[in-house]
Structures are given as structure tokens and as C-alpha cells.
């Protein structure tokens, strides 16, 4: 079909409408005032199709509009960490307000990174490198979705380096500290005894342990199918005798969909153990110990017992061997034994 005028001679509304290889292309040509101009536009469109340029993303969409109408709804439906996206998105919306995708260059992102690195948090403390990297990753995720949605062709974030991190903790529960800590699990903190025992005996993340359901406990195979919150794929961790006894007690007379650990006041999993655990550590005279350090204790004890990084990787549900290597660091006792072995 040749170009056609859908308007009048005084107010023309030209458009082209043609098919190439079974694909139909139809587009208004508001700039054309005559049939000749419309035919030139049609010829150029056909050339662009043959050259592979037709329909190429222009990046003219407003970034903020895309974040609010496309990215955040998508994040809620597809990402486990969508709450973090929802929390961090307002900062990106404010910084890049009024910008289209095409206007967001690597240089502008570098300026954003510098601004965030020098900014102060709501608590009045300097923003950490990890926090800045979370904003950069969110922006990159937005561009990756925009590429999938044919809004842009490239991701400028790929040209911006993230800040180096130097905050790998190596704190773990010492053998001498363990009885002091468990002595505090009485009264209002009695519920921590079983939970800490399981944390040390399995290395589960708090985000995996707190919402653990009875169906994930496999007594026949003597293992727990840990619902890995980071990778989304369950992994099996065998139960030692202490953990097995706790699970037998906690799962008795419960349905498969019930929670293993729950707050008796709400019937729901505990949302945080920070206050109770922190109090127990303080009363025990233990400093600088976090709940996640119990997972590190599990990995460290595996390393100290001679298990290699690949075995630790399987038992802790890591997706990369480099993550497991940080759990294989020698204890003070093993260092001492090592240097003693050099004596003649």
C-alpha cells in the first residue's frame, strides 16, 4: 500500500503502511506536508529496515517514569530484594530527576557515585562503600531491564567501577566464649538456646533460619533443605546430633507448613534477634559478635577440622568458591601447631 493521507488537503496526516518479509510496518509521518515528502520518509524507513536500524531504541524515555511505572512493579514481582529497591529508588529518582535514559552517561554516574560517597546517612554517619555500591547496582539493574524492554541499547553503568570493599569480618565465636554465651540463654532469652545451637551447627543465614518450615526438615535423610534466600535454590545440610534433637522437639505435632521457630506471642517467625542476642553477649562479656558471625563460626570450624573449600562450599550453599575460601582461615591454635611443626 502506498503512502496515504488520513487527514485533509489543508491538514494532511500522512502515514506509510507496508510489509517486508511478513512483518508489517505502519507509522504516522507528522512532518510530511505533501505526498512527495511522505514517500521520501517511507523510502528512508525501508532503507533503515534493510540496514538494521529501524526500531532502534532512542533512550528518550524519562528515567524516573520508567522506574516508577515499569521497574518497581517488576522488581516486586521478580526480586527477593524488592524492598531494598523500593527503599533506594527515591534517591535515584531525586538525583536523576528529569533525565532521559540517553542523558545518563558514565560521567554522570561517576558524579552520582562521588556524591553518594560523600553524603551522610539518616543516622548522621558517613555512607559506606557497600551502601554506595547498592545504589550503583540498582541503577544498573534498571538499565538492564530497560534494555530488555527495548528502551535503550547499552548500560552505561558497565563502564563505572564499584567502590572496593574492605569490610570482610573474620569474627567467630571462640571455644572459650561458647559456654559463657549459652549460660545467658535463660528467662526471656531461653528461646535463643535452640536457635543459636542450630545456627552454629548448620551455618544457616538468619534470613533462612527464621522462616524455616517443618517441611524442610528431612528426618529420613537426616538433613535440612535450606531455602537459600540469596540464590533461590535449596541446598541440603546434614544434621548433627544436637541439631537433630532440637528439630525432633520443635517439629513434634506440627504440620508441614508450620514454622520451626516462631514467636509464641504472634505465632509468626521472629523478625529480629538483635536485641536479645546483643544482651546475651553483653552479659557474657563478649564483644563485637553478631548473629551472622555464628555462620562464620560454622565455616571456620569446618576449616579447622580440615575440610576443604569445596566441601565448605556445598555445606554453606555458596555459588562461588571464592566465598568459601574466606571461611578457611587458620585458627590461632592451628597457626601455633604449624609453627611448632617447623622445629627440629
Evaluate if pTM is beyond 0.75.
Answer: no
Q: How confident is the model at residue 93 (pLDDT cuts 50, 70, 90)?
A: very high
240 DSSP 8-state letter: -
Whether the predicted pLDDT of 167 surpasses 90: no
Q: How confident is the model at residue 91 (pLDDT cuts 50, 70, 90)?
A: very high
Measured in degrees and rounded to the nearest 5, phi and psi for residue 186 equal -135, 165
Per-residue pLDDT tens digits for 292-316: 999 999 998 988 888 888 888 888 8
What integer pLDDT is reported at residue 30 of this predicted model?
79
Of the chain, the percentage scoring pLDDT greater than 90 comes to 49
Burial 31-63 (b: 16+ CB within 10 A, else e): ebeeeeebbebbeebeeebeeeebeebebebbb
Residue among 131, 50, 64, 160 nearest 103 (CA): 64
What integer pLDDT is reported at residue 166 of this predicted model?
65
Measured in degrees and rounded to the nearest 5, phi and psi for residue 8 equal -120, 175
What's the Cα-to-Cα distance from 16 to each of 21, 36, 190, 233, rounded to whole Å?
Answer: 16, 12, 76, 51
Interatomic CA distance for residues 93 and 318, integer angstroms: 34
What integer pLDDT is reported at residue 281 of this predicted model?
96
Task: Check: CB of residue 259 under 8 Å from CB of residue 208.
Answer: no
Whether the predicted pLDDT of 327 surpasses 90: no
DSSP string over 70-101: IIHHHHHHH-TTHHHHHHHHHHHHHHTTT-BG
Average pLDDT over residues 142-159: 91
Measured in degrees and rounded to the nearest 5, phi and psi for residue 149 equal -90, 10
Interatomic CA distance for residues 124 and 59, integer angstroms: 37
* Least confident interval from 94-98, 125-129, 199-203: 125-129
Return the percent helix, strand and coil in the chain, to nearest 5: 50, 10, 40
Amino acid at each position: 500500500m502506498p503512502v496515504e493521507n488520513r487527514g485533509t488537503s489543508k491538514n494532511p496526516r500522512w502515514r506509510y503502511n507496508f510489509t517486508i518479509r511478513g512483518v508489517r510496518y505502519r507509522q504516522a509521518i507528522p512532518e510530511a506536508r505533501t505526498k512527495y515528502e511522505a514517500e521520501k520518509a517511507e523510502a528512508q524507513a525501508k532503507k533503515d529496515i534493510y540496514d538494521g536500524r529501524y526500531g532502534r531504541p532512542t533512550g528518550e524515555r524519562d528515567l524516573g517514569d520508567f522506574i516508577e511505572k515499569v521497574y518497581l512493579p517488576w522488581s516486586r514481582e521478580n526480586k527477593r530484594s524488592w524492598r531494598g529497591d523500593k527503599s533506594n529508588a527515591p534517591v535515584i529518582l531525586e538525583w536523576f530527576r528529569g533525565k532521559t535514559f540517553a542523558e545518563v552517561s558514565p560521567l554522570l554516574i561517576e558524579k552520582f557515585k562521588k556524591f553518594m560517597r560523600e553524603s551522610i546517612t539518616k543516622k548522621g554517619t558517613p555512607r559506606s562503600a557497600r551502601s554506595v555500591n547498592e545504589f550503583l547496582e540498582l541503577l544498573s539493574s534498571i538499565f538492564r531491564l530497560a534494555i530488555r524492554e527495548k528502551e535503550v541499547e547499552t548500560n552505561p553503568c558497565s563502564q563505572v567501577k564499584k567502590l572496593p570493599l574492605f569490610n570482610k569480618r573474620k569474627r567467630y565465636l571462640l571455644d572459650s566464649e561458647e559456654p559463657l554465651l549459652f549460660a545467658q540463654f535463660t528467662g526471656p532469652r531461653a528461646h535463643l538456646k535452640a536457635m543459636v545451637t542450630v545456627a552454629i551447627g548448620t551455618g544457616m543465614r538468619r534470613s533462612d533460619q527464621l522462616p524455616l518450615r517443618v517441611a524442610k526438615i528431612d528426618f529420613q535423610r537426616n538433613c535440612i533443605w535450606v531455602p537459600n534466600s540469596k540464590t533461590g535454590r535449596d541446598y541440603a545440610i546434614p544434621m548433627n546430633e544436637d541439631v537433630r534433637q532440637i528439630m525432633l522437639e520443635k517439629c513434634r505435632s506440627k504440620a508441614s507448613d508450620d514454622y520451626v521457630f516462631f514467636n509464641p506471642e504472634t505465632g509468626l517467625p521472629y523478625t529480629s534477634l538483635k536485641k536479645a542476642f546483643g544482651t546475651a553477649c553483653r552479659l557474657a562479656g563478649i564483644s563485637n559478635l553478631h548473629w551472622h558471625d555464628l555462620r562464620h563460626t560454622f565455616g571456620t570450624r569446618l576449616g579447622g577440622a580440615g575440610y576443604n573449600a569445596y566441601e565448605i562450599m556445598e555445606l554453606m550453599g555458596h555459588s562461588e568458591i571464592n566465598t568459601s575460601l574466606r571461611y578457611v582461615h587458620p585458627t590461632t591454635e592451628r597457626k601455633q601447631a604449624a609453627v611448632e611443626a617447623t622445629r627440629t
